[in-house]
Structure 1
Amino acid sequence: MFISKVSLVNYRNFANASFKFNEGINTIIGENGSGKTNLFRAIRLLLEDTSYSHAYRLNKDDFNRNLNRVNPDGWKGHWIIISLEFSDISDDEAIQSLFIHRTGDIPDGDSFKCATYNLYFRPKPEIRLQLSELNEGDKEGLNSILANLTIEEHYETFFTGKSIVDFNDPTVYDELVGDFENVKFSFDYDQSKYGVRIPHQLSVSKEVSFTFIKALRDVVSDFHDNRKNPLLQLLKNKSGEIKKADFDPISTLVDTLNSSIEKLPDVQNIRNDIANTINDAVGETYAPSSLSIKSNLSNEAERLLQSLKLFIGEPDESYEGDIHELSLGGANLIFLTLKLLEYKYRKSKETFANFLLIEEPEAHIHTHIQKTLFDNIKYEDTQIIYSTHSTHISEVCNVENMNILAKKKDCAEVYQPSNGLSDAAVTKLERYLDAVRTNLLFAKGVMLVEGDAEEILIPILIREVLGISLDELGISLINIRSTGFENVAQLFHDDRVRRKCAILTDLDAAICDTTPNASDGKKEEKYKTKVRNSDKKGAQRKQSLDLYIKDNEWLNVFYADHTFEVDFIKAGNAHEVGEVIPSVYEKPSIITLANQEINSKNVSLYGKRVLTMANQEGKGWFAIILGEHVTDETYIPNYILEALKFINPDLSKNLIIRFVTYRLDQVIELDDYDFNKLYEAFSNGKIELQELLKTIAEEIELEEFLEDHVLTFLMSL
């Protein structure tokens, strides 16, 4: 039995989310704050014995913030729904009986393979009855009822099983909870659809083995906390299994040891001195009636075992130290090991299913250990769910067992990257997702490029010209190292990852007249043939890619007319390329000729020269050298700016102000001016960007500022 689906409605940062899981190892991937911990908490509320009581203590902060966007009391009247779907239910009579009477749904009396277990946090019956009695459209009556609602008095937690509806369907929510917009509520509860109530004293959590390993933040302090120390928990569990006959000799030894310690002359002398000093100070009347110094060593199995401590030696060291003496990574690894052992002990008991949740195991753990850990933690008959923001762990994840979380305004979205893909397509995709490329799974937007030049120079251009890094923009740039973009681009789709992905590639349009002439020599003929073939392939590539992205709002293609290097000069960057010429050539005559060609306006001349230079040095190395000469005055080729515009169509006003300030900083002394009031007016929507820039240009008496190519780009957004 395994969890095949988790549905979350109105729970914390999930307005409406659906997670899909498979048997074996599953992974939740997401940036910080995307909701990984909230997902685990939701599962724990239903399946973890120690968290079960918390399910009855949900509060208004557990409601999704979207409900409160317009009204701080927007949560009132709404429900939180957490639903777990289980698949591959065993035919075992005991488990079939459990789900028949509690959470299963068996059509026509046959055994079933799927079951559900749901948590509703909802208004109590008397409130729901009042809502159902409202006339349709009676918003005043609705507001009157909702105004007086409080969590403590008017909400209840309700568990059900045997539901058959999709809780992520908005129409299901309207039918079950009510239509707040049109004021239509029903008090009738269709158990055949929404599930049969499960009594409080019955819980699936009692029937399964469930272990949660929290994110490893400060495990040293946890080892000093008796409630959290995993070693103490293991010892405590084992102490109950020690036979009395086996422990009696140890207990006798402890008693003898304690007695021997207490009878030491020095101990007795100190005890007598304490008693005499008290008597001297307060007299016989107020002195204690008795006073002893005794050993604290317990002769009880549980307490004696809990007095034990773990001593560890770092790899290749003979010294064994306390936990606090270990490196942070070493302590985390030991903590994780003990929790895994705790899971093994739990699993050894007879349960219907085994679940292991591990939250962000990568904290302070070396890269190789992260990968090894993920590869090696595989237990038979156990479903394991990891959460992570480590590219090293995501690299070794099975794409089919992956859920990706994306932060949105006041909520999170969930994507299944393999949804709807064939096995062959998934295989190709996984080949690309190594540790470098998996960062696209965490990005807010993605650029796919075909070569080293783009991979090296585009980040430099963005940083030097716009004053911000791609990382700050949340954009991952991925070098495909070919023009086979489809293998990765297939990720970005309505059914899979709903993030913008821009493909940047070359049209390879001819930079010269390729018409054969009788006067052409072999070298010229060969060159024309090469240019002509590239032009043809570029046109075919465009046709193919344009068809591939058709009707997909998440994908777009942006073409360099020729190649990145040629279009770099075409954008107005002959000076930067000219700076590189002495690094490529030594002969003065060739340097002079190359400068003439690079600075000409003839693409057949500067195009051939820059490609010759790039091929001679190697495109990657040439890009590195060229990157050293990129400045704030360099022009970003227009197709790259258009790609940025596609990925980030709605730049925040704060980010726009940052761009403007950075460009201003290149032409004036910022300390001599104060544009804060202008920026505030722009941020508050009192003036538009064009008016902001025009006013700034007038104040600094620099009309050309409006012609800045970055600002022109911003005004086009």
Structure 2
Amino acid sequence: MRISTLDIKNYRNLDGVKIKFHPTTNFIIGENNLGKSNLLDLLNIIFNKNNFVESDFFDLDNQIQISFSLGVSDIEQGFFDDLFDPNNREQINIVAIQESPDEIIKFEHQETKTVIHSSRVRCVNYINYDSLRNPSSELSFSNNRGVGKFLNHIIVKYLQNGCLQDSDFVITEKVDEFLIEVNQSLQKIKSFKDFSVQAVREENKENLLAKLILLADDNKRTLEKLGYGVQFSIIITLSILERLLSLSKQRLDRCIVEDSSSAEKEKCIPVLIGLDEPEIHLHPYAQRSLIKYFLRVVNNDEPDFRSLLADIFQINRLLGQMIVVSHSPNILLNDYRQFLRIYKDDNGCLVVKNGFDINLDTATEKQLLKNLPYVKEAFFSKVVILVEGDSELGAFPILCEQINVDLDELGVSAVQAGSADSIPPLMKLLNEFGIQNIGLMDADQKNKYDGTPNLFFTQGKDFEEDMYDSFNIVDYAKYLEEEFPDSKKANFFIEQAKSLSLTLDPHNLIHPQLASLSPEKNQELKRLLKETILKNLRSNKSLLRGRDLSKYVTEIPQVYKDLIQKAVELSTNAK
């Protein structure tokens, strides 16, 4: 069973919100305080709890009503008896209603109003993980709380499978000798003697083993001494197993469905995994690795995990779906159809836009998917400036600083599209997700894309020509001499100066000598050097080159001023 739609009424700040989910993986993105974590809390309440509390009611005078649809696979047919969507036998539509904070949640079939017992709904098996958990209090074989329950269960299962004696773990005679000495000391303390308290040997094998073993790395460093990233990576994965362990035998049997089409008649169980900011404490590479691992787990493509499910729970396969709330572009996979963005529209109303509902032509989609890995930061921005290449990307933050515009403060990001042809489809995709955006491309593409809203073009042929036109030649020479002090790059001025009957001393800095010339001579020198300078700029494009070059530009080109001002305007007006 996979959740496919959700229609929320009177729950916290999500009142009136409608959501459509991707069948396997969903990434919930958006700014802070819009209700992303509230969404995971809602799912946890519906599938794991009996009721909403008073603070969940947006309006205490009205009921909370949550309408949701569950996709039911072939092997799950009949799970809800003969209740289904009249137009789709592979879907059931359910309404969860709670009249007031003093009531409990009641479930009913949307079309027939037939009551559905909560035990059926809970077989969705929602697994809730949030980053507020404390690994050190759970990741212990002897601490029977949280994921520690599963670690302890491994010991219990081991003990059940063997006929074990205390002597398999400890030499009891030696311990007893030690206890005599310990108690001789303790009995000298009045309270121990008065209440007949003494040290004894642990006789429960489960407790004994749990206290004998620790989690540690190859260097014998215990888990609490390792980084939080390691601890949280472990606890996230164990949370799935903890959830399955928490199901009573009766409920587990009720949730399992059998795939009779498979040779071994595999036993399968639905799971809906909700992860709230799993990236916390993790390095970017570890974030990507973790989410890819979870995707393999959900899709049953992780053989070791499947083997563990079979060993511990006699389950062969998960019928899984994942919903991830994140503020990290590193978590996002490279498929926009899995993105759900929460934002406020022009009227201040909350909207959830899902990529699963966006229809693009094949050519546009192909272009998008090719560039999506490099532009995912855009989905976390209020406004996005899309540029063609590295040089422009490096220049924009510096140009903004020069006119006292803080992109981070405004929630504006500059993103490299990779090519001119990638900018229009990316703008279209961002528009679909409700993300304000502006594009900048070279003027040689103007005939092809002129008229596209919020698309700007360079004044010259390209970024490099705009920068050239905006330079005083003195500042360009200064750029060369300060950024490349050992390469004598500015010495090419010397030969051209001779054609103007000017003499420049190669043993001294060139830019102060140029500064002493008349503006007319400098302008003439700049005209003579245009082809040479542009050839140099175009042959050395890079993010660093764009950044360094923009530090010295004499005057910011007007098109960049206009574009930055447009970004400021869009960000300021954003809800």
Tell me the TM-score normalised to structure 1 length. 0.61
Residue of structure 2 aligned with 1:294, choices 181, 185, 199? 199
Aligned to 1:579: 478
Cα offset, 1:461, TM superposition: 0.8
Q: From 215, 222, 231, give the equivalent of 1:311.
A: 215
Task: Report the alpha carbon displacement of residue 254 of structure 1 after superposing the two structures with TM.
Answer: 9.3
Distance of aligned partners of 1:18 and 1:234 in 2 relative to their CA distance in 1, 3 Å threshold: farther
* Counterpart in the other structure of 2:43: 43
Instruction: After superposition, give the CA deviation of every residue in 1:129-155 in whole Å (9 maximum; x if it has no partner).
Output: xxxxxxxxxxxxxxxxxxxxxx66xxx
Note the alpha carbon deviations across 1:474-529, whole angstroms, 9 max, x for none: 11211223211223222133xx211111011232xxxxxxxxxxxxxxxxxxxxxx
1:445 is displaced (CA, Å) by 0.8
Instruction: Give SS of 1:433's match.
Output: helix
Tell me if structure 2 keeps the 8 A contact 1:577–1:598. no
Any unmatched runs of 5+ in structure 2? 258-269, 301-318, 501-510
Give SS of 1:203's match.
Answer: helix
* CA spacing shift, 1:425–1:344, aligned 2, 3 Å: farther
**Distance in 2 of aligned mates of 1:308 and 1:20:** 49
The answer for the alignment partner of 2:273 in structure 1 is 356
The equivalences for 1:428-467 within 5 A come to 428-434=367-373, 436-466=374-404
User: Who is 1:615 aligned against?
Assistant: 538
**3-state SS of 2:285 partner:** helix
Residue pair 2:497, 2:525 contacting (<8 A) in 1 also: no
Q: Unaligned stretches of 5+ in structure 1?
A: 65-74, 124-150, 165-191, 280-286, 508-536, 550-554, 656-717
* Gap change, CA 1:502 and 1:604, over 3 Å in 2: farther
Quick one: which amino acid aligns to residue 215 of structure 2? F
What one-letter code is carried by the residue in structure 2 that aligns with 1:556?
Answer: N
Which letter does structure 2 place at the counterpart of 1:160? F
2:229 is matched with: 329
The answer to whether the 8 A contact 1:209-1:351 is kept is no
Counterpart of 1:231 (choices 141, 148, 152) is 148
Shift, 1:112, TM fit: 2.0
Q: Which residue of 2 aligns with 1:393?
A: 331
Secondary structure of 2:413's counterpart equals strand
CA contact (8 A) 1:453 1:620 kept: yes
Match of 2:343 among 403, 406, 411: 406
Higher-Rg structure is: 1
Deviations 1:393-447 (CA, angstroms, capped at 9, x unpaired): 21x343222212336798753222351224553343121122x421011111111
CA offsets 1:207-254 (integer angstroms, 9 cap, x no match): 2333223226642244479574412344258748964x956x547989
AA aligned to 1:38 is N
1:267 is aligned to 2:182 = yes
Confirm or deny: 8 A CA contact 1:343 1:356 kept in the other structure.
Answer: no
Distance 2:385 2:411 in 1: 11
Of the three residues 438, 441, 447, the one matched with 1:540 is 447
Q: The residue matched to 2:79 in structure 1 has which SS?
A: helix
Give distance in 2, aligned partners of 1:216 and 1:76: 29
2:436 to 475, 500, 507: 500
Equivalent position of 1:342 in the other structure: 242
TM-score by length of 2: 0.74
Contact 2:446 2:457 in 1 (8 A): no
Q: Does 1:58 align with 2:53?
A: yes
Partner of 1:516: none
Q: Secondary structure at the match of 1:628?
A: helix
SS at match of 2:16: strand
CA–CA distance in structure 2, aligned partners of residues 590 and 236 of structure 1: 82
Tell whether the 8 Å contact from 1:19 to 1:414 is kept in structure 2 after alignment.
Answer: yes
Residues 1:253 and 1:572: Cα distance change in structure 2 (over 3 Å): closer
One-letter amino acid of the counterpart of residue 500, structure 1:
Q
Give the deviation of 1:645 after TM superposition: 3.9
The answer to whether the 8 Å contact 2:279/2:328 transfers is: yes
Ranked by relative contact order (alpha carbons within 8 Å, sequence separation 6 or more), the top structure is 2
Could you list the per-position Cα deviations for residues 606-646 of structure 1 after superposition, in whole angstroms to 9, with x for gaps in the alignment?
8657534523554766534423325xxx6443333333343
The amino acid of 2:89's aligned partner reads F
Is residue 477 of structure 1 aligned with residue 397 of structure 2?
no
CA positional deviation for 1:114: 1.0
Decide which of 120, 141, 149 is 2:97's aligned counterpart. 120
Task: Tell me the distance in 1 between the aligned counterparts of 2:545 and 2:521.
Answer: 15
- Aligned to 2:552, the other structure's residue is in SS state coil
Is the contact made by 2:96 and 2:108 (CA closer than 8 Å) also made in structure 1? no
Report Cα offsets for 1:149-182 as digits up to 9, x if no partner. xx66xxx454333226xxxxxxxxxxxxxxxxxx
Could you say which residue in structure 1 is the equivalent of 2:12? 12
- 1:564 is matched with 463
Take 1:406 and 1:358, find their aligned partners in 2: how far apart are those partners?
Answer: 20
Cα drift, residue 312 of structure 1: 1.4
Instruction: Provide the residue aligned with 1:131 in structure 2.
Output: none
User: What do you get for the CA RMSD once the two structures are aligned?
Assistant: 4.1
Structure-to-structure mapping, 1:650-665, within 5 angstroms? none
Contact map agreement 1:6 1:85 (CA 8 A) in 2: yes
Contact 1:35 1:412 in 2 (8 A): no
1:160 aligns with 2:59: no
Contact 1:13-1:410 within 8 A present in 2 as well:
no
| Alpha-carbon spacing, 1:266–1:322, altered in 2? closer, same or farther (3 Å) | same
Q: 1:391 to 1:616 in 2, by over 3 A?
A: closer
- Please name the residue that 1:513 is paired with: none
Describe the shift of the 1:57–1:452 C-alpha distance in structure 2 as closer, same or farther (beyond 3 A).
closer
Report deviation, 1:469. 3.1
Asked whether the equivalents of residues 506 and 538 of structure 1 are also in contact (C-alpha less than 8 Å), the reply is yes
% of aligned pairs identical? 21
Q: CA deviation at 1:591?
A: 5.7
Distance in 2 (CA, whole Å) between partners of 1:561 and 1:339 is: 56
The verdict on how the C-alpha distance between 1:335 and 1:406 changes in structure 2, with shifts beyond 3 A counting, is same
Change (3 A) 1:39 1:298: farther
Supply the AA of the counterpart residue of 1:163.
Answer: Q
Alignment match, 2:308: none
**1:367 aligns to 2:367 (yes or no):** no
- Counterparts in 2 of 1:522-537, with a 5 A limit? 537=444
Retained in 2: the 8 A contact 1:356–1:383?
A: yes
